[in-house]
Structure 1
Amino acid sequence: MDKVAVCSKHQDKLPEMKSLLESKGFKVVASSPDFVVSFGGDGTLLYSERKFPGVPKLVIRDSKICKKCVSGRSSTVLELVRNDDFILEEWLKVDACFNKEHFLAVNDVIIRNKFPMQAIRLEVVVGEEQLVEEMIGDGLVVATPFGSTAYFNSVTRTSFNKGIGVGFNNSVSRHAPFFLSESDVLKVRIIRGEAHLAFDNSPKVVSLKDGDLVSIKKSKDVMKIINFKNLDLWVLNKRFKSKLEE
């Protein structure tokens, strides 16, 4: 892996990161990278996955909230990448389809009321089975295991590590969250009310109206995260070697 792109939360820190990457022998590029340094937090990772979908991400902390950030120093983990001493984790993504347009999400897909003072009514179907004839409330959230500790957790007070979770936001009648297998297809129809379809932290929001249907399922694409099995051992060995050379 020689070519790297950088997505940073703070643009003023880009020159320092680029300088570090070049000192390790990487070529910093704006397109077609071999991997991407996501320099920030969870939000930066979501942005970097939208910009460079499917390209391995090395997540380096520059934010308080970053559950997939590597624990080692930047220079250390970059040396490991340079030596191909890493593993790739694959994380499920969901695919929301509306009017033949597809929206991929790492965290979640959200359908919610456009106007805060007005509830919407939704029909929820899985496969050929109608699970909810009419949900009245603010909407719903469909989350991946990666995103289950985010908005899904704030709505349902639960998280999960397998499948796809569906939680209802502020419904008039109580609807417990439920979980889909990775082969299920969820269909959500707007019965009444104006709504918005959002995905991850994308600024793109789609307007929905009466009768509109959104299909949500597991995507064939995945997010790839660079991680390290031997990071602690590698650091200890390097320190021990330095001591011997003193």
Structure 2
Amino acid sequence: MLKVAIVSLLGYEKIRKAVEKLEIEVINSNPDFVITYGGDGTILYSERIYPSIPKITFKGSGLCVRCHYDVNDVERVIENVIKGNYYIATEIKLEAIARGQKLKALNEIQIHNKVPTRAIRFSVFINSKEFKDLVGDGVIISTPFGSTGYYMSVGGKPFRKGIGIAFNNLHMKKIRSFTVPLKTKIKVTVNRGNGLLIADNTDELIELTTGDEVLIMKSNEKAKFVRIFE
């Protein structure tokens, strides 16, 4: 019997009834698939609690760029999954290491000033490129999946390959967003001030202070999404 978990911040009785009608077991541990119902934030949350388990994403919000199916199509989509009429699309994830701790992200990693009224002074090192003594709100390192989110709101352009870098509200400087190859390792140092290391929309933050270093790279984990052969 196929086993699924359902992740939603909305009511999901309609989904549960449709799934159980097809004799699929709804569980919380070790599911074969994860059904999400909500917005983009629900997808990010589901990936944190069920990493790398294939997601079937249903739209429950007008703010869901990454939702692939309408909630009214639950039975049709699940029936196709049961028949094996689907493929798995993968998306890269990032990981950031600082102060002996690690965070993983499907959308983006941020180094952000801790206090909104106080800028952070930082430097970014990317292969032979060096951006020293920048002053502002921080920097965003994005995946292609996350490039239509916060990354784009600070001036980054959506992209399909590589890792994206966008600077957030720099003082007296204008640096356009750019991408680097997937194998690139990015180092960010905090030169002065207090900051936060943030992954996606999680509440789990790592506090940063003067002298701290953050290393960001592609994670070995990948997010997986179910696509029906239409």
TM class by shorter chain equals over 0.9
What's the counterpart of residue 237 of structure 1?
Answer: none
What's the counterpart of residue 96 of structure 1?
Answer: 96
2:12 counterpart of 1:46: no
Tell me by how many angstroms 1:178 deviates: 2.3
Contact 2:81 2:228 in 1 (8 A): no
> 1:63-91, CA deviations, whole angstroms, 9 ceiling, x for partnerless residues?
11222323451111011111111111000
- Please, which moves more after superposition, 157-166 or 35-44? 157-166
What's the counterpart of residue 150 of structure 1?
Answer: 149
Amino acid at match of 1:196: L
Identity %: 35
SS at match of 2:12: helix
Amino acid at match of 2:27: V
Contact 2:156 2:177 in 1 (8 A): no
What's the counterpart of residue 212 of structure 1?
Answer: 212
SS at match of 2:154: helix
Tell me by how many angstroms 1:157 deviates: 4.5
SS at match of 2:78: helix
Amino acid at match of 1:83: K
Amino acid at match of 2:138: G
What's the counterpart of residue 189 of structure 1?
Answer: 189
The CA distance in 1 between the partners of 2:191 and 2:180, in whole Å, is 22
2:49 counterpart of 1:55: no
What's the counterpart of residue 26 of structure 1?
Answer: 24
The CA distance in 2 between the partners of 1:156 and 1:131, in whole Å, is 20
What's the counterpart of residue 240 of structure 1?
Answer: none
Amino acid at match of 1:161: R
Alignment of 1:66-81 (within 5 A): 66-71=64-69, 73-81=73-81
Contact 1:141 1:166 in 2 (8 A): yes
The CA distance in 2 between the partners of 1:165 and 1:155, in whole Å, is 12
Tell me by how many angstroms 1:130 deviates: 4.7
2:200 counterpart of 1:200: yes
SS at match of 2:79: helix
> 1:152-183, CA deviations, whole angstroms, 9 ceiling, x for partnerless residues?
10111421111000100010111222211111
Contact 2:57 2:69 in 1 (8 A): no
The CA distance in 1 between the partners of 2:17 and 2:226, in whole Å, is 21
SS at match of 1:132: strand
Which of the two has greater helix per residue? 1
Tell me by how many angstroms 1:202 deviates: 0.5
What's the counterpart of residue 171 of structure 1?
Answer: 170
Gap runs ≥5 in structure 1? 231-246
Amino acid at match of 1:132: F
What's the counterpart of residue 221 of structure 1?
Answer: 221
SS at match of 1:156: coil
Contact 2:53 2:224 in 1 (8 A): yes
What's the counterpart of residue 34 of structure 2?
Answer: 36
What's the counterpart of residue 130 of structure 2?
Answer: 131
Contact 1:110 1:140 in 2 (8 A): yes
Contact 2:54 2:225 in 1 (8 A): yes
Tell me by how many angstroms 1:147 deviates: 0.4
The CA distance in 2 between the partners of 1:191 and 1:29, in whole Å, is 47
> 1:200-238, CA deviations, whole angstroms, 9 ceiling, x for partnerless residues?
1101121100000010001111000001122xxxxxxxx
Contact 1:9 1:62 in 2 (8 A): no
Q: What is the aligned-residue RMSD (CA, Å)?
A: 1.3
Tell me by how many angstroms 1:22 deviates: 1.0
Contact 2:187 2:214 in 1 (8 A): yes
SS at match of 2:124: strand
